[in-house]
């Protein structure tokens, strides 16, 4: 049972994700997490501001359950199934991060310089996380899906629009990582 406490290899996650997608299809649902953000807006009353949020979110409750499951899964994995919280990064990535002022990159799941309480509650740190979130929320709805809806479900079904969206994900990600992040972290 030692393996369960070790980090799992990539193919385990890949197989898991594909199985989740197929099971959802068999239950006449579709695998797409970002739709929940729209449901949350509706629940909070956004229907008063835009017709986009006037839909029967109750039919999406199963998907909200996915979020609840994710929170529980994260909790269990963190509390009971992980002994070593470090990430085995490529030394090149590590060196690049040290150069940018990130201390001990990979020693935990997330850089303290971004997610630590101290940095997140400075004006700059707060805006960084907030703007990042807004871009994710706005972008996924504009593109009609995120990693799960486009990169996994869409590509599995050989959808050209999803391939275009995934190319977009990479354009944005590469621009941010190489041209913008160096100036803001």
Partner 1 sequence: MSKAEIVSWYRIYEMFRFESFHMYGVIGTAVVLGVIFVLTMKILRVRSFRGNPIDYAVKKKSAFRYIIGGTIFGLGWAMTGACPGPMFVLLGKGVFTILIVIFGAVLGTFLYGVLRDKLPH
Task: Provide, rounded to whole angstroms, the least separation between the CB of residue 34 and partner 1.
Answer: 4
Which of 62, 133 has the CB closer to partner 1?
A: 133
| Closest listed residue to residue 85, CA positions, set 74, 95, 96 | 74
What phi, psi does 59 have (nearest 5°)?
-70, -10
Task: Provide, rounded to whole angstroms, the least separation between the CB of residue 59 and partner 1.
Answer: 14
Which of 59, 142 has the CB closer to partner 1?
A: 142
Q: What is the CA radius of gyration of the chain?
A: 19
CA torsion angle 153 157 162 163 (round to 10) = 120
To which residue do tokens 């190319």 refer? 167
Which of 58, 72 has the CB closer to partner 1?
A: 72
Which of 58, 115 has the CB closer to partner 1?
A: 115
Task: Provide, rounded to whole angstroms, the least separation between the CB of residue 103 and partner 1.
Answer: 13
Question: Distance (Å, rounded) from C-alpha 90 to C-alpha 150?
Answer: 28
Q: Within a 10 A sphere around the Cβ of 175, how many other Cβ atoms?
A: 11
Task: Provide, rounded to whole angstroms, the least separation between the CB of residue 16 and partner 1.
Answer: 8
């Amino acid at each position: 049972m030692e393996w369960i406490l070790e980090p799992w290899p990539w193919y385990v996650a890949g197989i898991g994700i594909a199985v989740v997608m197929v099971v959802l299809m068999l239950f006449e649902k579709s695998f797409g997490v970002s739709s929940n953000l729209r449901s949350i807006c509706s629940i909070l009353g956004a229907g008063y501001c835009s017709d986009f949020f006037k839909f029967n979110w109750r039919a999406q409750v199963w998907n909200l359950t996915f979020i609840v499951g994710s929170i529980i899964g994260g909790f269990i994995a963190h509390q009971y199934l992980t002994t070593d919280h470090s990430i085995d990064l490529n030394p090149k990535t590590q060196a690049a991060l040290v150069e940018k002022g990130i201390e001990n990159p990979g020693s935990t799941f997330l850089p303290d310089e971004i997610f630590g309480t101290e940095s997140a509650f400075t004006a700059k740190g707060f805006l960084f996380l907030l703007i990042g979130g807004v871009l994710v929320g706005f972008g996924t709805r504009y593109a009609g899906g995120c990693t799960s809806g486009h990169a996994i479900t869409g590509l599995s079904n050989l959808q050209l629009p999803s391939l275009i969206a995934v190319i977009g994900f990479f354009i944005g990600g590469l621009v941010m990582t190489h041209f913008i992040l160096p100036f803001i972290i």
